[in-house]
Chain A
Amino acid sequence: MRATPDIEDARWVDAGPSSLARKLGAGFVQAFVLPRTVLARRELLVAGVRRELAARYSGTWLGRAWTLATPLVLFCVYYFLFTRIFGFRLGDLPDSQRAALGVWMFLGLVAWTGFAEGVARASTVLVENGTLIKKLAFPAELLPLECVLASALVQCLGFGVFALVASFAGLWPPPGIALAWCPVILGLQLVFAYGLALALSAATVFVRDVAAGLGLVLTLWMLATPIFWIPAREMLPGIDEWLPWLELNPLHSLAYAWRAVWMSNEPALVFQSSIARELAHFAPWALASYFFGATLFACTKRRFADEV
C-alpha cells in the first residue's frame, strides 16, 4: 500500500518475466499471494459488493426488497406448480413431504443461479469497469470477486427465505445438523466460482467472444446438471447409463451438497451419497479452478489497462 511511504526502499516496477514458462511460474506464485491482497483491500471489496448489489435494482421502487421478493415468489411458484397443479409425487415420500419436487427444483435453481450468475457477471466486469483499471489503477482481482460474492449473497438470501417460509408454513421440515456444512460448501463454491471468474474475466479482456459464448455454455451446463431433473430411475429411466459421466460435473456435487443440507439429507430423494463424499469430489475441482484462474489472471493482469 502506498499509505505508508517507504521512501528509501521503494519497489522497482519492471517489465516482468518475458518467457511464457517464467510468466506462468510467477503467476502461479501470485495465486498464493492473492488471498492476502484481497484481505488487505477488504474495504474496497465490501464497498464493491454493496455497489454490485445496489446496481441490480437501482432505480426500482422496491430497491433491495427485490432480493427477497424474487426467491419468495419463485418458491411459491415452484411449490404450487409441482405440488398442487402437476401433483407430482416422488416414490416413497411420506405425505408431509409432497412438496419435494418443488423444493428440489427451487433449491437447485437457487444454488445454480448463485454460481452461474456470479461467473457470468464476472466475465464482463473488467471490460465494463475499464475506467477503474485504466485510470484508477484499481486492484483488478477484486472486481470478479465482487460479482461472485454478490451473487452468492443473493443465493444465501434465497436459501434463508426457503428455510423460513418452508418451516413456518410447515411445507418442509426445518434443516437439521447438516446445516453445519454450510460454511464449507459455501467456501468451496466461492473458491470454484472465483477461479472461473478470474479466468473468464481475464480472457474476455483479450477476446470478447469469451463472454459472448459463455451464456450458451452456461445454459448447456445447467441442463447437464440436475437442476430441473432428478437423477433417479423412476423419473428418467435411461439415466443409469449416463450417470457416471454426469457425476463428473462439479456442479452435480455442489447441487447435491446444498440440497442435502436444506432437505435434511432425505434418503428417499436419491440421497444415497453423503455431503462429505460429494465435497471430496468438488474440492479438487475448486482448487484446480482457483489455481488455473488465479495464474491466468496474474499472467495477463498487467496488460488489462492497455486492452480494456
Chain B
Amino acid sequence: MAAAIEIEGLGKAYRRYASGADRVLEAASLGLVRRHAEFWALADVTATIARGESFGLVGANGAGKSTLLKLLAGTTFPSKGRFRVHGRLGALLELGAGFHLELSGRENLALAGALLGLSRRELREKEGAILDFAELGEFVDAPVRTYSTGMAVRLSFALATTIDPDVLIIDEVLAVGDLYFQKKCVDRVLDFQRRGKTIVFCSHSLYDVRNLCARAAWLDRGRVRALGDAVGVTNDYATFERELGEASPGERSTSATAPPAGLPRVLAAQCVRPGGEPVRELAAGETLAVRVWWENPEPARFPLQLGLGFLRQDKTLVAAAATHVDGVSVDPRSGGAVLEFDALPLLAGSFTVLVVLFDGDGVHRHHEFALPEPLVVRARTKELGLVRLPHRWRFAPLEAPPASAVSPAPRAPERSA
C-alpha cells in the first residue's frame, strides 16, 4: 500500500536556557558556545501511515503528540531523523492556530488560501462553502480576536477541510464547540475517511480514537510505546494508566485531576446509609446514599452535570449514573446533592466510588474525585458476578427451536478404524 506519511527516527529537542546571558552568549557565538539544556519532546519515532488510513495518537499530556503533529504540519522542524508527507496537507492544530488575530475571518481565509497555494479563483469558489460551514454570521468581517472559541474552531475546521487536503491532521479540536458543531465535524471527518483520505488524529478520548481509527500509536515521553491496531493500543494505554493510578493512588486524584482555582470542584463526598450514618461496608440489596458537595465560583459561566460511578479494583466501570444521562438538571451554584440507590444491585466485592463534575454538555470533566476508601459489599447469597440483574424464571413448554436460534457446534464425527 502506498504511504501517505513516512516517519524515520524523528526527534524534536527544545532548548532551555538558564539565564538571558547564556542565551546571548550562545547566539553571539553562532552556537559554538553551548549554553542550553536540551529537552527532547519527541525522540526517535518511526512509523508509516498508509494512504487512506486513519491513524490515532494517544498518550498522556506532554507525551509528544502535539509536537509530532506540529512537525508533520511544518510549523516546527525536526532536530533528528526525517519525515515526508505525500500530497496536500491540512492541519488543525491547537485552538486559534492558523489565524492572524487582527485580520477578519474573510481576510484570514485569503491569507490561508495564499499560504496553501490556492489560486484566487479557487479560493473564491471555496469561500462560500467555507463561510457557510463556519456559520460566522456578521462576524465574517470582524477581526478574529473578537471571535468566540467556537467560532475560531469552526472557521479553522471549515478552512482545513474545505481545501480538500490529501492528509488531514487533527489535534484534539473535535471536543471543542457545541454538540451540534461537534457532530458536523465528526460527519465531515467520516466523509473524509470514506473518500479515502488520510487522517492523523490525536485525542485524549480513547473512545474517539477507537471509533475513528484503525491503527494507533501510544506515545510515552516522546517515544512510541506501542503501535498497531487501535483497539489493542488504546487498551494497553488504558491499562497502563490504570496501573499508574494504582501505584500512586494519591497522585491521580490530586495532581492529575484537581482543577485549577476558579473552576468547579468537588469539595467532599461520602457514602451513607439512608439515616445519614457513614458506611464503608454494606450488604448487597441494602439502600445506599452518596452525598456530594461541590464548589462553583462562577455558576453563570459553568453549568454543571454530576456523575457517579462504581469501579471495580481493576478500574472497570461497573455501573454509573449521571444527571445529563438521566435528564435531571443541576443547580450549578455551590452546594450538594444526594444520590440514592434503593436495593443496591452490586454483588460481593470492593468498589471505588468515583464522583465526576461535568460541564453542562456532560462532555468535559471539571473534576474527578475517587473516594479513597473503597465501598465493600458483602453478598448474602451465593449469586455470582458483579451485579445482580433483576430476573425471573419461566418453564413454559416451547416448540422446536426456530432457525434463528443458535446451536452449539456438532461433536466431531468419530474416526472409524
A136-B82 in contact (CB<8A): no
Q: At the interface, yes or no: B40 with Cβ under 8 Å from chain A?
A: no
What is the number of residues of chain B that contact chain A, defined by CB distance less than 8 Å? 50
Q: Is there an interface contact between A137 and B115, defined as CB atoms closer than 8 Å?
A: yes
In the bound complex, what is the Cα–Cα distance between A16 and B200 (angstroms)? Answer: 25
Dominant SS among interface residues on chain B: loop
**Of the 9-residue stretches B83-91, B212-220, B404-412, which lies at the interface with chain A?**
B83-91
Stretch at the interface among A64-72, A107-115, A202-210, A252-260: A202-210
Tell which of B78, B96, B98 touches A13, judged by Cβ atoms closer than 8 Å.
B78
For the complex, give the distance between the alpha carbons of A209 and B77 in Å. 25
Task: Select B117's contact among A3, A55, A207, A299, beta carbons within 8 Å.
Answer: A3
Asked if residues B114 and A7 are in contact (CB atoms below 8 Å), the reply is no
List residues of chain B with CB within 8 A of the CB of A38.
Answer: none
Q: Does B166 contact A (CB under 8 A)?
A: yes
A306 with B114: CB separation less than 8 A: no
* Complex CA distance for A218 and B120, rounded to whole angstroms: 40
Given A44-B111, A207-B24, CB of A2 within 8 Å of CB of B117? yes
A132 contacts the other chain (Cβ, under 8 Å)?
Answer: yes
B77 close to A131 (CB less than 8 A): no
Within 61-96 of B, Cβ neighbours of A (below 8 Å) are at 71, 73-89, 93-94, 96
A1-33: contact bitstring with B at CB < 8 Å (1 yes, 0 no)? 111110110111111100010000000000000
Q: Does A84 count as interface, using CB distance less than 8 angstroms? A: no
Question: Which listed residue, A5, A8, A20, A137, touches B73 by the CB 8 Å rule?
Answer: A137
Q: For the complex, give the distance between the alpha carbons of A305 and B81 in Å.
A: 18
* A134 on interface, CB distance cutoff 8 Å: yes
8 Å CB interface, A233-280 against B? none
B139 at the interface (CB under 8 A from A): no
Roughly how many angstroms separate A15 CA and B23 CA in the complex, as a whole number?
A: 21
Question: Which residue in A1, A3, A207, A305 is a CB contact (below 8 Å) of B77?
Answer: A305
Q: Which residues of A contact B166 (CB under 8 A)?
A: 5, 7
Instruction: Check if B27 sits within 8 Å of A207, measured CB to CB.
Output: yes
In the complex, chain A residues whose CB is within 8 Å of the CB of B83: 12-13
How distant is the Cα of A20 from the Cα of B30 in the complex, in angstroms? 8
Query: Are B31's CB and A20's CB within 8 A?
Result: yes
A1-B117, A2-B116, A5-B166 known; A10-B86 Cβ under 8 A = yes
At the interface, yes or no: A135 with Cβ under 8 Å from chain B? yes
Chain B residues with Cβ below 8 Å from A88 are none
Instruction: Kindly provide the distance from the CB of B195 to the nearest chain A CB, expressed in whole angstroms.
Output: 15
CA distance A225 to B89 in the complex (A): 50
In the complex, chain B residues whose CB is within 8 Å of the CB of A56: none
Tell me whether B117 and A132 are in contact (CB under 8 A). no
Contact of B98 among A4, A5, A135, A302 (CB under 8 A): A135
Are B84 and A10 within 8 A (Cβ)?
A: yes
Instruction: Please state if B97 and A7 are interface contacts (CB–CB under 8 Å).
Output: no
Extra contacts, 9 of them, besides A2-B89, A15-B81, A138-B115 (Cβ < 8 A), are A3-B117, A8-B86, A10-B86, A14-B82, A134-B76, A135-B94, A137-B75, A299-B30, A302-B77
Binding site for A on B (CB under 8 A): 2, 11, 14-15, 23-24, 27-28, 30-32, 71, 73-89, 93-94, 96-103, 110-112, 114-120, 166
